Amino acid sequence: MEWLKTSLLLAVYKTVPILELSPPLWTAIGWVQRGPTPPTPVLRVLLKWAKSPRSSGVPSLSLGADMGSKVADLLYWKDTRTSGVVFTGLMVSLLCLLHFSIVSVAAHLALLLLCGTISLRVYRKVLQAVHRGDGANPFQAYLDVDLTLTREQTERLSHQITSRVVSAATQLRHFFLVEDLVDSLKLALLFYILTFVGAIFNGLTLLILGVIGLFTIPLLYRQHQAQIDQYVGLVTNQLSHIKAKIRAKIPGTGALASAAAAVSGSKAKAE
């Protein structure tokens, strides 16, 4: 009878949501993870998640997998020239948006691109006029690429988009229509914290910092993986101790925690 009571306390303790935002939305983007803490550091898990395309229940197109692989190569600077060009282009565009309107920046970028392509096309025509070339379009290889989708690919893509839209709508309904009061309160707390972040940074500044982080953190982690894992482990242990102290001070959770520890200890001895 005592064992049954302890098991019920353990089940209740495991279902108490403490500092976790519910279902798949947050676990899908890698913010939180329900269940026991994974043995690998959180940073390594996030980087592995970012490096490999996330699989869903819907069959994904090979184009999406190739795109994910190319993005990983860019973030890990496997081709220094390509990553440098992409990083420089993104940073210049975002810095221009700090001083000019988005319409002006987009128009100037499009005009610059058109000037470059038209210049190359005219240059080939000039070479043809002086009998030093065939005058072929320098972008013919890109023009010959078949961008049409088969019926099967279209159905897969539409099904994938529909499933993601439905999943996002379900999550928004769950939070904003207060299906679970605790989850809605946690989301309100998150947005309340973001109001202070927004008072310090605007969205464009955060985007610039995010781009810098994307192109620097994975590379630094790969170069100093052992040291970073060690420090992340220390921080994780400290956070676990703080979380345990907070749980111990909350009325009713101390007994549940001790019961859970007793049950886990008995299971370990039985094994």
Domain residue spans of the chain: 70-129, 178-246
Spatial separation of the C-alpha atoms in residues 51 and 72, rounded to whole Å:
5
**What would the pLDDT profile of 211-232 be if each residue is shown by its tens digit?**
999 999 988 888 888 888 888 8
Query: Residue 222 in 3-state DSSP?
Result: helix
pLDDT attached to residue 173:
95
Band of the pLDDT at 239, cuts 50, 70, 90? confident
Residue with token string 């769950």: 174
Share of the chain above pLDDT 90, in %: 31
Mean pLDDT comparison of 2-11, 32-41, 43-52, 134-143, highest-scoring range? 134-143
What value does the mean pLDDT take over residues 109-131? Answer: 92
Backbone dihedral angles phi then psi of residue 212, each to the nearest 5 degrees? -60, -40
Q: At what angle do helices 80-99 and 62-75 cross, to 10 degrees?
A: 80
Cβ of 89: how many Cβ atoms within 10 Å?
A: 11
Tell me the whole-structure pTM to 2 decimals: 0.55
Asked if 91 and 208 touch (Cβ cutoff 8 Å), the reply is yes
Short-list 160, 155, 151, 154, CA closest to 57: 160
**What would the pLDDT profile of 64-87 be if each residue is shown by its tens digit?**
667 778 888 888 888 889 999 999
